[in-house]
């Protein structure tokens, strides 16, 4: 039994892109947890953007990867013919496997076959943490394919575990029904904030093993302080002049949702807050690149450049980091900030887990949930309601309360980080019970 547990084949699904530092941190923490709990396990990553993590050898292109056309220019539109063709062919493979325990692949390419093989060979399948169970677009093709990615593990009869995710928001009632159906068949379902759990229960979801567990990126270990310091110095930042530092992450939210029409006001508000911090508090401002793709609408550097240009025009002391940066270095660098204004949720988690006081610009309820878990609800501002006056007022209030807030964060962080370990513990215990149960059946 021990030998079997130490040679497990584990498939991690729904990994988006390592160009998103938050996605990268979540995947890396998940990998670390399984390698520590199951020494000698063989882990395969199913990725939407596999080229973004060249260091990892065992990875396959996901169902979502195969659903979009690609060219030298990058990711294109939905390729519905290719999508339905692969789904049909994979269903035939699943049916053959369940009925005859034979691995047969029907007219798929070599790389598509690698994806199906990774499912068939897996001893257990983990849907990694993230925010992929969300309504997108009018038709919801993205959600349908994500759900199929999860459901395929169920069709093959594989033990499936949902690591801490955000669920929703959704535009349509059927999306909740679909989520309920898919998640019902998981061995364990974990969500990462109270709002997701509340909405899941309100939708009628019933499951004996559902847990509220903080985002496991809280336990992500950044680079050493020396590496973070040297990196900031290489970007032109002097850390020894005792001037306070404000870190900012920004996102191109109008390009990701057509319902948001406040992008210009949002960027002006961040500019004005940065200007106030520099002029009135004698500080410096750093615009960080938390997400650099894979699609242009995801790239934080595009709106950051617009804000930085305004700061340059007024000759204000600010730096914009324009190069993609590994998540461990970003986390280390955030630890040198005195305050942080973050739109990207995992930039806020990186800063908070380094005991840096944060103002969260909330664009989904996952952001509020993050601060609720820490008892820091006072430091949230909705992206839909943001303006310069509100943001500067909150920044000044946080500056004056920074010592108290820092102490509150420091007090709650050990418990939060300890809770992050619960994801692997409940998975390990359930999988151990499941295998002991199967052995008992065979022996009888």
Three-class HEC string of the chain: CHHHHCCCEEEEEEECCCCEHHHHHHHHHHHHHHHHHCCCCEEEEEECCHHHCCCCCCEEECHHHHCEEEECCEEEEECHHHHHHHHHHHHHHHHHHHHHCCCCCCCCCHHHHHHHHHHHHCCEEEECCEEEECCCCCCCHHHHHHHHHHHHHHHCCCCEEEEEEEECCCCCHHHHHHHHHHHHCCCEEEECCHHHHHHHHHCCCCCCCEEECCCHHHHCCCCCHHHHHHHHHHCCCCCCCCCCEEEEECCCHHHHCCCCCCHHHHHHHHHHHHHHHHHHHCCEEEECCCECCCCHHHCCHHHHHHHHHHHHHCCCCEEECCCCCCHHHHHHHHCCCCEEEECCHHHHHHHHCCCCCEEEEECCHHHHHHHHHHCCHHHEEEHHHCCHHHHHHHHHHHHHCHHHHHHHHHHHHHHHHHHHCHHHHHHHHHHHHHHHHHHHHHHC
Question: What's the rounded mean pLDDT across residues 123-142?
Answer: 87
Q: Rounded to 10 degrees, what is the CA torsion of 430, 46, 321, 410? A: 0
Q: Tell me the per-residue pLDDT of 16-62, one tens digit each, with 9 for 90 and over.
A: 999 999 999 999 999 999 999 999 999 999 999 999 999 998 999 99
Q: Give me the pLDDT at residue 138, please.
A: 64
- Give the architecture-level CATH label for domain 2-213: 3-Layer(aba) Sandwich (3.40)
Question: What's the rounded mean pLDDT across residues 127-140?
Answer: 84
Q: Do the domains spanning 2-213 and 224-414 agree at the CATH topology level?
A: yes
Sign of CA dihedral 91, 92, 97, 100: positive
Q: Tell me the per-residue pLDDT of 70-87, one tens digit each, with 9 for 90 and over.
A: 654 456 678 888 889 999
Q: Tell me the per-residue pLDDT of 174-212, one tens digit each, with 9 for 90 and over.
A: 899 999 999 999 999 999 999 899 999 999 999 999 999
The domain locations on the chain are 2-213, 224-414
Q: Which class in CATH covers the domain with range 224-414?
A: alpha beta
User: Across the chain, what does the average pLDDT equal?
Assistant: 92
Predicted structure pTM score: 0.94
């Amino acid at each position: 039994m021990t030998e079997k547990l130490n040679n497990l084949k584990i498939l991690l699904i729904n990994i988006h892109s390592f160009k998103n530092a938050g996605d990268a941190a979540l995947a890396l923490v998940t990998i670390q947890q399984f390698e520590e709990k199951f020494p000698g396990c063989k882990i395969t990553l199913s990725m939407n953007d596999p080229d973004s993590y060249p260091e990892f050898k065992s990875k396959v292109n996901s169902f979502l990867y195969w659903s979009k056309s690609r060219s030298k220019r990058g990711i294109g539109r939905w390729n519905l013919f290719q999508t339905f063709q692969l789904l049909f062919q994979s269903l035939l493979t699943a049916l053959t496997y369940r009925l005859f325990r034979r691995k047969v692949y029907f007219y798929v390419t070599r790389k598509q076959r690698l994806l199906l093989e990774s499912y068939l060979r897996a001893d257990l399948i983990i849907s990694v943490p993230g925010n992929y169970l969300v309504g997108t677009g009018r038709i919801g093709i993205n959600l349908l394919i994500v759900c199929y990615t999860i459901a395929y593990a169920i069709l093959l009869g594989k033990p499936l575990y949902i690591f801490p995710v955000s669920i929703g928001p959704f535009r349509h009632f059927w999306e909740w029904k679909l989520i309920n159906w898919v998640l019902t068949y998981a061995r364990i379902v974990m969500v990462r904030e109270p709002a997701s759990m509340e909405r899941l229960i309100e939708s009628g979801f019933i499951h004996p093993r559902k847990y509220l567990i903080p985002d496991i990126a809280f336990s992500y270990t950044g680079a050493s302080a020396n590496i973070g310091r040297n990196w900031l110095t290489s970007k032109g930042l002097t850390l020894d002049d005792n001037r306070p530092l404000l870190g900012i992450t920004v996102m191109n939210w109008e390009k990701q949702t057509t319902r948001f029409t406040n992008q210009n006001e949002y960027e002006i508000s961040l500019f004005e807050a940065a200007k106030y911090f520099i002029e009135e508090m004698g500080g410096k401002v750093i615009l960080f690149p938390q997400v650099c793709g894979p699609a242009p609408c995801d790239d934080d550097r595009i709106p950051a450049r617009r804000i930085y240009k305004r700061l340059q025009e007024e000759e204000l002391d600010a730096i914009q980091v324009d190069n993609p940066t590994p998540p461990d270095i970003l986390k280390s660098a955030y630890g040198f900030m005195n305050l942080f204004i973050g739109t990207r949720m995992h930039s806020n988690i990186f800063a908070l887990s380094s005991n840096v006081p944060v103002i969260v610009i909330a664009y989904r309820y996952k952001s509020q949930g993050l601060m609720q878990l820490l008892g820091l609800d006072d430091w949230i501002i909705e992206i839909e309601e943001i303006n310069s006056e509100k943001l500067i007022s909150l920044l000044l209030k946080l500056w004056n309360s920074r010592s108290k807030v820092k102490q509150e964060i420091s007090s709650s962080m050990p418990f939060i980080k300890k809770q992050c370990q619960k994801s692997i513990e409940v998975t390990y215990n359930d999988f151990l019970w499941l295998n002991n149960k199967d052995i008992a059946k065979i022996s009888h």
